[in-house]
Chains A and B, each alone.
Chain A
Amino acid sequence: MIRGLLVAFSAVFMLVFTASAENENSYQFENEQQRATYRQLIKELRCPKCQNQNIADSNAPLAEDMRDRTYQMLKEGQSREAIIEFMVARYGDFVHYQPPFTTITSILWWGPLFIVIIGIGTAVGLTRKKKAAVELTQEERQRLEQLRKSGDE
């Protein structure tokens, strides 16, 4: 039983491994650093066709074209930034998994901070109000005095 499971596991593992290696088989890199940059780029670039997949995971023909282009540009000696810029110019910010900091996206960073500040402000405001001393009028003070005296007796 356990042996069967082990065999099944290793079979699945090997399938996954060969599938991911297959994507790179046709590509020849000049050095390990270039290969690393390539791997990082295809993880960071998003497939516009099958959304929510990066171009490393996607089997869409478009993702294949984008991997090809990434490889070609790396071979031409282009930098990581240049390749990202090239893709964004054609497919928009959507294509990069690290959105740039713009006026519209700034709400994603500042929004939560803003909400926390409101929360703290409200909490502080409410507790302060409770602590505030109660001012008694002349009449109330007299009445209090009376009650105290009557309590003593």
Chain B
Amino acid sequence: MTKFRWLILFGPLVLFAALVVFLLKGLGSDPTELDSALIDEPVPQFEASDLYDTEVLYDQSILQEGPVLMNVWATWCPTCRAEHEFLNELASRGVPIVGLNYKDDSRQKAVKWLNTLGDPYVINLFDPKGKIAFEFGVYGAPETYFIDHKGVIRYRHVGDVNQRNWSNKLQGIYQQLVEEAK
């Protein structure tokens, strides 16, 4: 009987504390940042032409010899402009990044952007209708996908890549993929 009494007295308190922890966790999360549905899935099949030369064609095999990053960008996207310099820096440190030019205003504009701001990408994919991006579940730009050496998508970052989130989180994820490939 006394045990039961304790349960009645403190049960609600414990439930309340659990609720507070649950709601506090929700308070810090960004609802616009969605988890990708393709985590731990192989990269989808696609066929894309090169941004510089539309005669050159690529398929998903270019992403199957990772670890490699795939960055979704466009000239109409201000945040892409903000992260571009840091992508250049990552490229100079030897991080391979594939660029996916997503529904850009025109091919010329995108090429001009890379010529003036520098080209951090090992390969430039041209996706004027957003068909490839649709297969990846892209819902905005910029987005960066982390793909391992087996061609499996392991992480998706939404928003710009910068020094802060690279050191805090993203570098760790990339390094782990590099370790796994050894």
Chain A interface residues (CB < 8 Å from chain B): 48-49, 51, 61-62, 65, 69, 88-94, 122, 125
Contacts and interface: CB of A to CB of B under 8 A. Distances in A.
Given A48-B139, A51-B31, A51-B32, A91 B37 contact: yes
Contact of A65 (B31, B36, B130): B130
B8 A90 contact: no
B139 A92 contact: no
Contacts of B32: 51
Taking residues whose C-beta sits less than 8 angstroms from the other chain, chain B's interface range is: 10 to 19
Given A51-B31, A89-B37, A92-B37, A65 B134 contact: yes
A88 B37 contact: yes
Contact of A94 (B8, B34, B130): B34
Interface of B: 8, 31-32, 34-38, 103, 130, 134-137, 139-140
Given A49-B140, A122-B8, A90 B134 contact: yes
Determine chain B's interface SS by DSSP, over half rule. loop
A90 to B, nearest CB: 4
B8 A92 contact: no
A89 B8 CA distance: 45
B134 A69 contact: yes
A43 B35 CA distance: 23
B60 to A, nearest CB: 15
B134 A92 contact: no
10 contacts: A48-B137, A49-B139, A61-B103, A65-B134, A69-B134, A89-B37, A90-B137, A92-B36, A94-B34, A125-B8
A94 B35 CA distance: 9
Nearest to A92: B37
Given A61-B130, A92-B35, 8 more contacts: A48-B139, A51-B31, A51-B32, A69-B134, A90-B37, A91-B34, A92-B34, A125-B8
